Structure 1
Amino acid sequence: MSQESIISLLEAHKKHPNLKIRLKEKAELFTHRLFYTLFDAETPVAENLKEVETIFTELVDLVCWKTEKPCHTVWEQYVSKLPNILEKLNLDACATTQNDPASHSIEEVYLCYPGFHAIAVYRLAHELHKMGFPMVPRLMTEYAHRLTGVDINPGAQIGDSFFIDHATGVVIGETTIIKNNVKIYQGVTLGALSVSKKMQNVKRHPTIEDNVTIYANATILGGETIIGANSVIGGNVWLTSSIPANSLVTHTPEIKIKTVNHE
């Protein structure tokens, strides 16, 4: 096959005119610069916000290909939300220092904790998601997913003082509701019972009430599943139905120990 034929076939199969890989790169740069603006002590806020706005304008040009959904007015709304987002993130960081004895300073949380990093990107993406800004919120949280191993859909609703310890393998689905002062550990899944496409506009993921702790590798599924306030969910628990407030749910594995005779 000639080079010209190969090129012709490749061009024939490129069927998505709005699929631009640099959109992903720009979304990641936008997220990166937002971090510097909000957290870095050496970064001047006013100067950096102008840079972030410039990147956002480029994102608008790349992602808003549906002319019936104008995006150019989103930035002013979004930037007004940043002080409140930062306030919430400071509460998340404090929750980490208060709940993890391995945390030695607030700076350590901001710089070292993948759980906090994932929550921060989620909160920044969630506000854009609520405004209906297309694609970019998901690209932001997938960027965090790649960096931290934590998969939080930007559509999830998460309250104040949220803490994810160790982080890796955590999955929080699109219609999850998490209220205040919730702690979860590595490998936790807050997922759906069904992945049918017809469930797209239905609440598919659980609700976690205030002050709940969910330990490692627990799986909680279903849109009607509610974990009552002040409950503790033990490691490796599998739940598909609601539990009342102040519950303790544990998984007891059957362990068999065989003693080897070394005579």
Structure 2
Amino acid sequence: MSSSATPLTALDVVTRLRAAGCVFAEDEAALLLSAATGPAHLAALVSRRVDGLPLEHVLGWAEFCGIRVAVGPGVFVPRRRTEFLVRQAVAAAPARPVVVDLCCGSGALGAALATALPAAELHAADVDPAAVRYARRNLAGLGEVYEGDLFAPLPGSLRGRVDVLLANVPYVPTHDVELLPAEARVHEPRAALDGGGDGLDVMRRVAAAAPGWLAPGGSLLVETSERQAALAEETIGAGGLAPRVVVSEELYATVVIGTRPA
């Protein structure tokens, strides 16, 4: 680091982060120290984190499935539990799959899938222009990214061809959004969180249209909460798909998979 009148020490950073309520202050301090280009930059990074900005927004990236994904202010940060959704998608994929990532956000899930399935034909879409900008950055050379509402922007040539339809839809009930941590509630787009009255509004739309896009034997995969799992399973089954629920106790993750009959 370059010289500064009062440079922050590692202990200073940890102390400030802990005082701000950061549970993993030591780990976060190490990341901020490694990202800083000098004392002034470090002070700025720490101030942004102490002010409540998500750590990933401060750093400019999030780690997901072992890769770094670019994120920034106003963009949904991929959650570690969603790695379970990606694992299930990889397990459901044939050798050369056609993959669609709806509600793709920053493109984190698509990037992870493309890494695990290098032969995949990947398409991703999101309604939020900011998310689409990051997705195009993260999926450059890996797949096509479209801006629009759910299936609307996808090319019609994909109908009946999709082997893996990944839809990490918002599923927080509207009345629960205000109970979320401030990092999510204040700094992430509400459209990426709010799933309507019971949290399943967007999922219903996806489930209703999915059979027309899936190839025979293709699968729709969505993440939900444990308390919503039964209703989500029923919702996906109502669309004509054969549903099942899989759970990861390690990641506290619940995924519903609906498969189109072969």
TM over 0.5: no
TM range (shorter): under 0.3
Query: Whose radius of gyration is greater, 1 or 2?
Result: 1
TM-score (norm 2): 0.26
TM-score (norm 1): 0.26
- Structure ranking higher on relative contact order (CA contacts 8 Å, 6+ apart): 2
